């Protein structure tokens, strides 16, 4: 078989690179996935197919006759984008019932199984007439986009679209399908939350791909084991191959780097300097930082509880340290997330009341998404906390070290994808051990300058070693190799 052609390469994801307001104004798409794919789209020509996120997107899609059109992102770059409009009720079931929270909770181990979920007709219908339907809408767009193209290459992204590859494969058996999952892949028992029919359809959908990618070797191992445990398939764990329907599916690990040059460029903006001036004016001896979405998986409450414990056990730090927490509200239409945000605000109030003084507030909580404000804080933290319960990668763990100017110490959960790369130079914590995190805060703030520098230099070297271009090239090389009939190779 010849190498896949250079064009067209089709990207498919739920969110696209831009969103349109009803007045026609354009905003950059949000989320780490969009950041990653924007790098891919700028690396080579692509057509990017995504869901219409609202009325503005739907209006722009209709103006284009439902076809692809070229758009310029407000942050730079031209993209050929096709926005797919689905029925509003179907999209609600697809996104707010099945994708989030059902699949997100399964893959981050978030369900309290003694209480939830209860799968009833409501959830089954959301799957059959929501998740399936939106996947079908996206599949229709992909099949139309690759019509008449020999050996087309389609790169599918994330958990919203697990059924899509199987739908495309049935209609275009010659297509080369690559699927990257940006969140953790949990162990097999967690998937038994789903009814067997639903579970098998999801697995057979994603196994219609030629290559499936994850951020870490750990999530790759989990997926391979799931294929054995849940579908009784033949699996080669060493080479990362699943055999199904006379096909071999490669399962690979592609850790996602950050664009270091772009990150540092943002940190040098004038508005960042303005935030810095204010931060330094109010700064105490030490600053602890976290920058996160207010997502259940990020483990924000235990982070604040550990800081509370740290202040209780080390009163010598009273009035000398500030914990700056910049949290972006997330999925506020999901009840569990509304409640979580309320609990965060309540706990911050308790900690500030317990330890604060008339002129010192221990925790500064900022509930907003402001990249430039976050960059100002990145430059000056002494300790950076990333204590997620489970995370696909967690790019903030990579952004902080290359911007920070104080040899700040990274405190990193062992269950983040980033830990597989950065663990040697971070202070490792178990995300459920609040006392351990309190101890690590103390260790970070009392660490010698030489040790801080050694760790900070190590983190920077690892983060700067690979770029998004390398991440893309690794995947494209595997696409070319598998399409040409090369055997699977062992993971390094």
pLDDT, tens digit, for every residue of 1-56? 444 445 568 999 999 888 899 887 888 776 666 766 776 666 678 899 999 999 99
Question: Which stretches in the chain have pLDDT values below 50?
Answer: 1-5
Query: Quick one: pLDDT at residue 492?
Result: 54
By C-alpha distance, which of 176, 84, 91 is closest to 133?
A: 91
Query: Strand pairing partners for 289?
Result: 324, 384
- Angle value at C-alpha 130, between 129 and 132, nearest 5 degrees: 80
User: Phi and psi dihedrals of 226, rounded to 5?
Assistant: -60, -40
Considering the chain, what is the average pLDDT of its residues?
A: 94
Residues 6+ apart with CB under 8 A from 429: 387, 411, 412, 413, 414, 436, 437, 440
Looking at residue 326, its pLDDT comes to 97
Residue ranges of E strands in 387-477: 409-413, 427-429
pLDDT given at position 469: 85
Kindly report the number of other CB atoms within 10 A of residue 380's CB atom: 18
Bridge partners (DSSP) of residue 81 are 48, 69
In the prediction, which pLDDT does 490 show?
Answer: 75
């Amino acid at each position: 078989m010849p190498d896949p052609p250079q064009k067209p390469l089709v990207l498919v994801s739920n969110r696209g690179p831009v969103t349109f307001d009803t007045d026609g104004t354009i905003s950059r798409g949000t989320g780490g996935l969009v950041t990653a794919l924007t790098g891919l789209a700028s690396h080579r020509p692509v057509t990017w197919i995504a869901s219409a996120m609202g009325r503005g997107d739907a209006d722009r899609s209709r103006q284009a006759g439902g076809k692809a059109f070229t758009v310029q992102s407000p942050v730079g770059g031209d993209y050929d984008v096709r926005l797919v409009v689905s029925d509003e009720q179907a999209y609600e079931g697809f996104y707010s019932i099945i994708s989030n929270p059902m699949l997100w909770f399964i893959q981050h181990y978030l369900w309290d199984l003694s209480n939830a979920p209860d799968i009833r007709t409501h959830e089954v219908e959301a799957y059959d007439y929501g998740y399936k339907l939106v996947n079908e809408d996206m599949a229709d767009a992909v099949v139309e986009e690759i019509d008449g193209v020999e050996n087309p290459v389609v790169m599918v992204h994330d958990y919203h679209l697990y059924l899509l590859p199987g739908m495309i494969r049935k209609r275009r058996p010659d297509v080369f399908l690559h699927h990257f999952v940006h969140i953790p892949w949990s162990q097999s028992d967690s998937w038994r939350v789903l009814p067997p029919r639903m579970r098998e359809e999801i697995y057979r959908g994603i196994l219609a791909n030629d290559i499936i990618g994850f951020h870490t070797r750990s999530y790759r191992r989990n997926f391979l084991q799931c294929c054995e445990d849940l579908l009784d398939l033949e699996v080669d764990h060493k080479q990362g191959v699943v055999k199904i329907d006379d096909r071999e599916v490669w399962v690979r690990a592609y850790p996602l780097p950050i664009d270091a040059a772009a990150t540092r460029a943002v940190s040098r903006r004038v508005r960042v300097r303005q935030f810095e001036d204010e931060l330094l004016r109010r700064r105490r001896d030490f600053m602890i930082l976290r920058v996160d979405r207010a997502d259940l998986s990020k483990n924000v409450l235990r982070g604040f509880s550990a800081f509370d414990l740290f202040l209780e056990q080390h009163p010598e730090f009273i009035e000398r340290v500030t914990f700056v927490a910049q949290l972006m509200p997330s999925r506020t239409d999901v009840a569990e997330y509304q409640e979580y945000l309320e609990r965060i605000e309540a706990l911050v109030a308790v900690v500030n009341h317990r330890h604060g003084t008339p002129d010192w507030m221990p925790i500064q909580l900022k509930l907003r998404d402001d990249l430039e404000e976050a960059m100002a804080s990145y430059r000056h933290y002494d300790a950076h906390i990333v204590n997620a319960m489970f995370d696909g990668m967690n790019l903030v763990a990579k952004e902080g070290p290359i911007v920070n100017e104080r040899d700040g110490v990274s405190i990193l959960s062992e269950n983040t994808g980033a830990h597989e790369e950065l663990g040697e130079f971070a202070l490792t914590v178990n995300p459920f051990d609040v006392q351990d995190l309190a101890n690590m805060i103390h260790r970070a703030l009392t660490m010698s300058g030489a040790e801080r520098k050694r760790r900070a230099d190590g983190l920077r070297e690892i983060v700067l070693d690979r770029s998004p271009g390398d991440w893309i090239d690794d995947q494209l090389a595997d696409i070319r190799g598998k399409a040409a009939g090369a055997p699977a190779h062992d993971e390094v």
